[in-house]
Amino acid sequence: DIVMTQTPLSSPVTLGQPASISCRSSQSLVHSDGNTYLSWLQQRPGQPPRLLIYKVSNRFSGVPDRFSGSGAGTEFTLKISRVEAEDVGVYYCTQVTQFPRTFGQGTKLEIK
């Protein structure tokens, strides 16, 4: 199984400042079709998860452009350019390249 490791697990951030979350996979997420199926999800308190980024760097519909994804192979990053109060929650990376699907442990973003 592919193990997804996120760092940090907790990230206190000042409003208006940037935030960054890293995700590392135990093996390459490049699929045989050439795509890299790495997604980022946001889970606000009391809510189901919501898709933010898919295939490493593509923002899902309605996601603000302050969210961006980057990376390749086994190393990936989610960046928030300027954190807003509504960004508080837990962020997960997940690989959709192969079964079984796996998720990172989650990174809790909180405001200082």
Q: What is the dihedral of CA 42, 32, 71, 81, to 10 degrees?
A: -40
**Are 94 and 104 contacting, i.e. CB atoms less than 8 angstroms apart?**
yes
Q: How far apart are CA 3 and CA 46, in angstroms?
A: 26
Nearer to other proteins among residue 35 and residue 77 (C-beta) = 35
If the CB atoms of residues 20 and 103 are measured against other proteins, the closer one turns out to be 103
CB of 49 to other proteins, least distance (A): 6
Residue 67 CB, nearest approach to other proteins (Å): 15
* Residue 41 or 80 having the CB closest to other proteins: 41
φ and ψ of 17, to 5 deg: -95, 160
Q: Binders of other proteins among 49-108, rule CB under 8 A? A: 49-51, 54-55, 60, 90, 92, 94, 96-97, 99-106
